[in-house]
């Protein structure tokens, strides 16, 4: 049986921090990260031979559960036909068509290799289309690690306390205007002053990188309204929410149509995939049709397309999202009941298959400041208590959690029994 500390020590010799993405290092909660051997259904299996009920799901992609037999079969068949061709394939068209069918605002899409690439490219396209430089984002939202977007960001940037990274030139960051999520008045005020210089607003329609904060009624509508009034583009970053909160993404759930949408995570079924798409007249500005350049050696990779397309087929089955939402609701309601019995101030947010846990007395309905005000120390104790019980939560108080279709009620009940014991010890 492998010793996690030894694995970490060796990894740290060759990889900065021993990890290839910062939050994995457990800096937000302390302790040694779980090194994973394999995963199946709702479970991760650690190198320590322990089994964990997994609520991270590779940070969102594994919505049908790990190692789903049909997804693996599609991948195996694709692998047998070769790994990459660098030429167009029918499966890329099938994927693009499926995305356009499922997400109401998509006329055309372009595939990329990560969420970061999707948002970076969408921002370039918005700037190219409008001929403007300024962009608006919201504090605590994370849109990947490209320069323009790593300003007051969420996720790992927030967990590590460096929301605005060194290495981003001030001359670039000055084009990024950061406002408060859910602050419609702040948005109107900035657009009244600078609207005609703003290329786009980029927003996570449900903020999932500062824990999980839902849009207040009217907030997304205001974004649509000011963009229309000033000729700016509205970009919904649905890398996390796409095919996670509803089949048509958050835009279908809230009934708002963005000009551009960025996708990732679920659409790759666990393979490295992103996409951006939207209105035809905007997408036609992309090379080779238009002047805005964007490219990728491995974009639309056939193995990745096979995993993603099969995952999209599996989640298109009627009732999939109703069942996923019901399970997620069962989990968060159960957690609240048990916390309340133990006298622990605790609340939750949830939409579709994503959720947030907060150690606080008040409902978290506003924004970043409120999330920062929650009891982070108690979260850390809860996290480690649950890990000891064999439940793997996101190792940070600033990340959303995810339930998959493979989490059945027995698994959810096991989680709730574990939580009851941990709440009683907090």
Q: Which is nearer to ligand PMP, 2 or 162 (CB)?
A: 162
Q: How far apart are CB 184 and ligand PMP at their closest, in Å?
A: 21
Task: Pinpoint the alpha helices (H) of 49-89.
Answer: 69-79
Q: How far apart are CB 119 and ligand PMP at their closest, in Å?
A: 5
Q: Which is nearer to ligand PMP, 183 or 237 (CB)?
A: 237
Distance CA 117, CA 177 (A): 20
Q: How far apart are CB 401 and ligand PMP at their closest, in Å?
A: 13
Pick the catalytic residue from 54, 237, 259, 375: 237
CA 46 to each of CA 16, 26, 36, 37: distance values in angstroms, whole numbers, following the listed order: 21, 15, 4, 5
Active site residue 330: no
Q: How far apart are CB 325 and ligand PMP at their closest, in Å?
A: 19
Residue 149 is given by DSSP the state G
Distance CA 200, CA 260 (A): 10
Pick the catalytic residue from 142, 259, 375, 380: 142
Angle among Cα 172, 175, 179 to the nearest 5 degrees reads: 125
Structure tokens at 271: 């393979």
How buried is residue 67: exposed, middle or buried, by Cβ count under 10 Å (0-12/13-18/19+)?
middle
Structure tokens at 106: 């998509």
Q: How far apart are CB 301 and ligand PMP at their closest, in Å?
A: 14
Q: How far apart are CB 268 and ligand PMP at their closest, in Å?
A: 9
Task: Give the CB-nearest residue to ligand PMP.
Answer: 115
Structure tokens at 148: 């323009």
Q: Which is nearer to ligand PMP, 92 or 117 (CB)?
A: 117
Assess contact for 155 and 142: CB atoms under 8 A: yes
Instruction: State the helix-helix crossing angle for 302-315 and 320-341, rounded to 10 degrees.
Output: 80
Q: How far apart are CB 46 and ligand PMP at their closest, in Å?
A: 22
Q: Which is nearer to ligand PMP, 134 or 145 (CB)?
A: 145
Q: Which is nearer to ligand PMP, 248 or 334 (CB)?
A: 248
Q: Which is nearer to ligand PMP, 91 or 239 (CB)?
A: 239
Q: Which is nearer to ligand PMP, 178 or 414 (CB)?
A: 178
HSE, side-chain direction, 13 A CA sphere, residue 68: 24
How buried is residue 50: exposed, middle or buried, by Cβ count under 10 Å (0-12/13-18/19+)?
middle
- With CA atoms as reference, report the closest residue to 187 among 196, 197, 177: 177
Any idea which residue has 């583009």 for tokens? Answer: 233
Pick the catalytic residue from 134, 152, 265, 310: 265
Active site residue 185: no
Q: Which is nearer to ligand PMP, 154 or 302 (CB)?
A: 154
Q: How far apart are CB 59 and ligand PMP at their closest, in Å?
A: 5
HSE, side-chain direction, 13 A CA sphere, residue 74: 22
> Please, which residues have CB within 8 angstroms of residue 258's CB and are 6 or more apart in sequence?
105, 224, 234, 235, 236, 251, 278
Distance CA 149, CA 146 (A): 6
Residue 232 is given by DSSP the state P
Active site residue 142: yes
Please report, as ranges, the residues that interact with ligand PMP according to CB under 6 A: 59, 114-116, 119, 142-144, 155, 204, 208-209, 237, 239-240, 264, 274
Active-site positions?
142, 237, 265
């Amino acid at each position: 049986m492998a010793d996690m500390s030894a694995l970490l020590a060796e990894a740290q010799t060759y990889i900065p921090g021993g990890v290839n993405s910062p939050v994995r290092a457990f800096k937000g909660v302390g302790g040694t990260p779980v090194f994973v051997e394999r995963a199946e259904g709702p479970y991760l299996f650690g190198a320590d031979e322990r089994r964990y009920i997994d609520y991270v799901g590779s940070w969102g992609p594994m919505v049908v559960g790990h190692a789903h037999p049909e997804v693996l079969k599609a991948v195996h068949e694709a692998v047998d036909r070769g790994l990459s061709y660098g030429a167009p394939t029918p499966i890329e068209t099938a994927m693009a068509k499926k995305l356009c069918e499922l997400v109401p605002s998509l006329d055309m899409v372009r595939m990329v290799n990560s969420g970061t690439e999707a948002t970076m490219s969408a921002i370039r396209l918005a700037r190219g289309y409008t001929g403007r430089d300024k962009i608006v984002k919201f504090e605590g939202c994370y849109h990947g690690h490209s320069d323009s977007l790593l300003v007051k960001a969420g996720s790992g940037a927030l967990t590590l306390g460096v929301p605005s990274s060194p290495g981003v030139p001030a001359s670039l960051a000055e084009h990024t205007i950061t406002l408060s999520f859910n602050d419609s008045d702040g948005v109107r005020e900035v657009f009244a002053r600078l609207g005609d210089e703003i290329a786009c607003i980029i927003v996570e329609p449900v903020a999932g990188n500062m824990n999980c904060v839902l849009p207040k009624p009217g907030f997304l509508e205001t974004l649509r309204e000011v963009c229309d009034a000033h000729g700016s583009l509205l970009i919904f970053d649905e890398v996390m929410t796409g095919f996670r909160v509803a089949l048509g993404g958050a835009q279908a759930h809230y009934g708002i149509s963005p000009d551009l949408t960025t996708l990732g995570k679920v659409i790759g079924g666990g393979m490295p995939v992103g996409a951006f798409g939207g209105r035809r007249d905007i997408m036609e500005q992309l090379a080779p049709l238009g002047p805005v350049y964007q490219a990728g050696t491995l974009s639309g990779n056939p193995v990745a397309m096979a995993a993603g397309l099969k995952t999209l087929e599996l989640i298109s089955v009627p009732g999939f999202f109703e069942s996923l939402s019901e399970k997620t609701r069962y989990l968060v309601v159960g957690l609240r009941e048990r916390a309340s019995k133990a006298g622990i101030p605790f609340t939750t947010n949830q939409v579709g298959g994503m959720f947030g846990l907060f150690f606080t007395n008040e409902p978290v309905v506003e924004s970043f400041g409120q999330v920062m005000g929650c009891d982070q120390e108690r979260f850390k104790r809860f996290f480690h208590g649950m890990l000891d019980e064999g439940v793997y939560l996101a190792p940070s108080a600033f990340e959303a959690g995810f339930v998959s279709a493979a989490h059945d009620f027995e698994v959810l009940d096991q989680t709730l029994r574990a939580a009851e014991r941990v709440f009683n010890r907090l």
